[in-house]
Structures are given as structure tokens and as C-alpha cells.
Amino acid sequence: KWYRILNYWSVRNITGPKPIPYFGNILSPVLKGKECVETEWYRTYGQLYGVYEFGKPGLRVADPVLIKQILVKEFYKFRNRKEGGDRIAVFKNTLIRATGDDWKRIRAIASPAFTSAKLKHMYPLINECCRDFLAALDRDVSTGRTEVELKQLMGAFTMDVIASTAFATKTNPYSNPNNPFTSKCKALFHERPLMILLSLILPTFITNKHLWKVMVKDPDLNSKFFFDISRDLIRERKKSGKKYNDFLQLLMDVERVDNNTTTTGADSVASDALEGHHVNEGVDELMAEKQALSGMKYSNTTTTGADSVASDALEGHHVNEGVDELMAEKQALSGVVEKKLTTDEILAQCFLFFAVGYETTATTLSYCVYELALNPDIQDLLVAETKEAFNENTTDIDYETLSRLPLLDAVISETLRKYPPVMRVEREAVEDVVLTYGSNGSTIKIEKGVPLEIPVYAIHHNPDYYPDPEAFKPDRFLPQNCHHIKPYTYLPFSAGPRNCIGMRFAMLEAKLCLGKLIQQFRFYRVPSTDVPVIFIATDILLRPKRLIVGVEKLN
């Protein structure tokens, strides 16, 4: 039986690491570290190879042409992420895990929260969080602190930003190092190899028991904290009748009410796609709009309105965008009739925003400061660029000017290249699909239900795409160089209609924090700085065991 199951790929002439009965290929990533194993497999077996999760075959795809077909051109045949594997039950209702029409509906509802207008509205709130963050760090440094653990430092900041901008709530993370918001979020992503294996092997009547969840520190127990917080906030808002201009309010405004099919509020946005003023929209119109707002160079002059959209086109996370991407996104979100959410779906999105918004941005900022500490020449150049852009009297910077700083964008983009928060992008075939790749027009048939994973970390460390990949070189992403980056070899936010919905929010948050931080503090390598980074082998995300650097206040 196992011989037949574990020969699924070999009979299709697809190579890959040798599986073992029952486990397939799951042991190596759990025990050795996903980033090491993925890179080793990629270099050994190439851009297309087969693996097994227990007895289920899966395909690893690293060929840029195939990646575009999967994420963009054939999006609707791979519109879902692979089923199962979630250690947090509520994830099935989140935007990350929702499938089919449910995903489309939730994505269409949530997208307006991340428009340029909304980001500009959030900007003062993020700025206020930056002031609190810098004041707390200043107090610590002024009382003799000379070293910082970056993950803990940045985690407090990103949690404060998420709570303030999305839920109009202050968490006061700097007054209490054991703040429950940050400690519960940390626990959500903590994994232990033995417990993971036992959870996969043991029958569900054991792993579903409350005692088992307590023993293994099941993330579901920590997710309850965020559910309760969200429920309380919703209850208080309904009772007071007060409206807020934030993510939670956007979700509450589209809560589904039984026997009420009236289209109001955000529903009007869904019907907009059916209105007459869209009759002329197609490839030419989408490209004309994109071209009209692109190609603007950085200057110190203040810009407003649509200019902020234009500056966004210069940022590193847009390297994959073109006609196909614009059309795929438009088609993917068309035809949503009822833009409503159930109560469970609202709570699930709240939880997702708390958890993912906290962890990924905190980790990226931590790696960013770590690399600046190891590369003082780059730190000096970035200080010079941001100093020129900041207002000398208020030490502030406006939204548009921040978006136009090329080195700041390049530093963060290179950090995301070297340390992508999510090591793999997942998809699953919802029908049988034949894909074409290679110069000779080779084809591969992917059967319905077969999961695909794109090894982002391994692609980002391929020397054919990024020479000297272990070196930190922000120059790769400067405007005069970024055209050398091959499309679909840079995927920190994935790509296509199912890319990271919060990427522009995350980039704004990271830029403002980093720009202000290096104006007031200098970071440097100390004996306790790990070089290279030591990663947590079993984590879902690419997280370090620790990131310690020296810090001093600038005059």
C-alpha cells in the first residue's frame, strides 16, 4: 500500500526527496528547520519537485512562469489555500483560510480598509504610537540600558499600532513587559516539535480534549483571549451607539441580520461593479490608469491627493504588477452580491488582524534594525536620507514624503527578501489543471485536491536571482536597479488576487517606525548579537531565537 501511495510522483516523472512510510516528508522540516530543508530541496531537485505530507502528495513550484500561472493567470483554478493543518480552529473563518465564494465575499468587504484614503486617515494614529514607542525606549536608554532584544521591543510597538488603528484601543504595552496582548500573541505562534508530531499522530478523541490542549499549550486557548476582547468591544459599541472610523467598525457595519436583505453601507461598493460607469473598463483602461499614476520621482515637495497613490507604485512590493495582475484582481472580486458577515466571521477577522498584524511586522522591523546594526554604512546612508525628509522643527514627516524615500523602501524590501515572514505560499487545485512551463513547452497535469507550495525563502536565496543572497544589499531595490528583479522571484506578500491584503498598511507602519527610530537612536553589533541569525526550527513563520543589538541615543 505505502509503495503505491509514495510512488505518486515518480510514476509522473517528478523527482523529490525520498519519503518514508506513514510520515512522508514531514519529519525533516519539523526537526531541522523549514528554511534549511526548503533551500536544500530546492537546490537538489530544482524548480519543480514532489513531496508527501504523510500519504498525501504535494507539489513544490519554484519556476517563475508556473508561479504566475498559479497565482494570477489560472487563479480561479488555485483560488484556495490547502485544506487542514490549522492548529487554531478559528482560522477556518479568516480571510487567510476562507475558500471559494466565502473568501471572495470577505476579501471584498475587507479591501476598503486598506485604500490610500484609509491609510492616510490611520497615519496620525500610527505616528502617535511611534511617539509612545520612542518615549519608552528613550526612558530605558536614559536609565542605562545599552542592549535591546529587538523582537520584544518591536512586538510592543506593532501591538499598540494594531489595537489603536483597527480597534480604537490602547494596550499600554510599555508599562507591563508581560502585557497579555503581546504574551498571548507570542504564544499563538510558538511550536514544539514533539507536540506537533504527537498532535498529527494521535487520534482526535485525545487531541480534542481540554486537558490535552492545556498540556501542549494549544493556541486555541490563547485565541479565546482575542475573541473575548473583540466581543466586548463590539458589545460596548452597540450599547453606546458610537461610531469609529476603524477596521472593527467596517466589519460591524456589514454584520448579517436574519431576514434582512437590504443592501446598505458597504454593500453599495459591491454593486458598484455592476453600474454603468464601468462599461468601458478593460485591459486598456486599467493600464492607462496605472500608467497615469506611475513613474513619479522622489522630491522634497509636499504632494497631496492622488499623488500618494502614484508614489506607492515605486515601492518594492509592486515588482510583479502588470496587466494580468490587474485583470485577475478585478475578476476575482467581481460578482459579490451580498456583502455581509456572520458574527463568527467578524470575530475571526478581528483575531486575524490582531495575530498576523502583530507578528509579521514586528519580525520584519526586528530583522531590519538587526541588519542596520551589522551594516553601519547603510545605517548612515538611511539616517541621511530620512533626516533630509523630516521636518526639523516637529521631527515629523508627512504621508506622501515618507512614501517617496527610495532607500527606506529598499532597506525594508531587502529585509523582506532576506527574511520573508512566511516561508511558503500555499494553494490547492480545485479542478484538474494542465500547466505549461520551460522553453520546450513542457506540461504538467495537477489533479484536483493536490496542494501546491511555493518555497518563497528558497527562491529569495537563489543566487541566480539575487547574487550573493546571504548579503544584505538594499541597492537591489533602488529605482534604478529594481528592473533587474525577475517577476515572481520576490514574493514576501505573495502575489495575485490572494496576496496579503495588509501589505501597504504593514509597509507604512514599518517605514514610519524605522524612519523615526534611526533619527533618535543608533544601533550596533555587540558580543551577544548572533551572526548569522539563529532561527526557531519549528516555527510557522521565519522567527529568530533572539535578536540582541546595542543601542545608544543620538545627540
* Mean pLDDT split into 10-residue runs, the chain, 555 residues: 80 92 84 86 95 92 95 94 64 86 91 88 93 94 93 92 89 78 70 57 56 52 79 90 87 70 37 36 45 38 39 58 81 81 88 86 97 98 93 81 95 97 94 87 91 96 97 97 94 94 94 96 97 84 93 91
Q: Residue with C-alpha cell 490611520?
A: 122
Cβ atoms of 71 and 426 closer than 8 Å: no
Q: How much is the pLDDT for 284? A: 46
Nearest C-alpha neighbor of 215 from the set 232, 198, 231, 227: 198
- In DSSP notation, 430-498 reads SS-EEEEETTTTEEEEE-TT-EEEEEHHHHHT-TTTSSSTTS--GGGGSTTTGGGSPTTS--BTB-STT
Structure letter (DSSP) for residue 93: G
- Residue 269 forms part of a structural domain: no
d(CA 242, CA 230): 16
Which residues sit opposite 341 in a β-bridge?
255
Amino acid at 379: Q
d(CA 229, CA 167): 10
d(CA 502, CA 492): 12
Q: How much is the pLDDT for 553? A: 95
Task: Look at residue 148 and give its three-state secondary structure.
Answer: strand
Q: Buried b vs exposed e over 505-534: b needs ≥16 C-beta within 10 Å?
A: bbbbbbbbbbbbbbbebbbbeeeebeeebe
* Structure-block grid coordinates of residue 241: 451607539
Q: How much is the pLDDT for 384? A: 95
Considering its fold, how many domains does the chain have in total? 1
Q: How much is the pLDDT for 270? A: 36
Q: Write the CATH number for 436.
A: 1.10.630.10
- Residue 104 forms part of a structural domain: yes
Nearest C-alpha neighbor of 231 from the set 346, 376, 383: 346
**Model's pTM, two decimal places?**
0.85
Left (φ > 0), alpha (ψ -120 to 50) or beta: where does 163 sit?
alpha
Cβ atoms of 346 and 249 closer than 8 Å: no
Q: Residue with C-alpha cell 503505491?
A: 4
Cβ atoms of 191 and 538 closer than 8 Å: yes
- Residue 79 forms part of a structural domain: yes
d(CA 223, CA 488): 34
- Residue 495 forms part of a structural domain: yes
500 is in an annotated binding site: yes
Strands 433-437 and 442-446: antiparallel
Domain extent for 124: 62-254+336-553
- Residue 80 forms part of a structural domain: yes
- Residue 95 forms part of a structural domain: yes
d(CA 455, CA 25): 15
Q: Residue with C-alpha cell 518514508?
A: 20
Left (φ > 0), alpha (ψ -120 to 50) or beta: where does 238 sit?
alpha
d(CA 245, CA 220): 29
- Residue 7 forms part of a structural domain: no
Q: Buried b vs exposed e over 305-338: b needs ≥16 C-beta within 10 Å?
A: eebbbbbbebbbbbbbbeebbbbbbbebbeebee
d(CA 59, CA 9): 9
- What 3 state SS string does 517-541 have? HHHHEEEECCCCCCCCCCECCCCCE
Q: How much is the pLDDT for 491? A: 96
Q: How much is the pLDDT for 267? A: 38
Cβ atoms of 87 and 219 closer than 8 Å: yes
- Residue 174 forms part of a structural domain: yes
* Structure-block grid coordinates of residue 157: 510597538
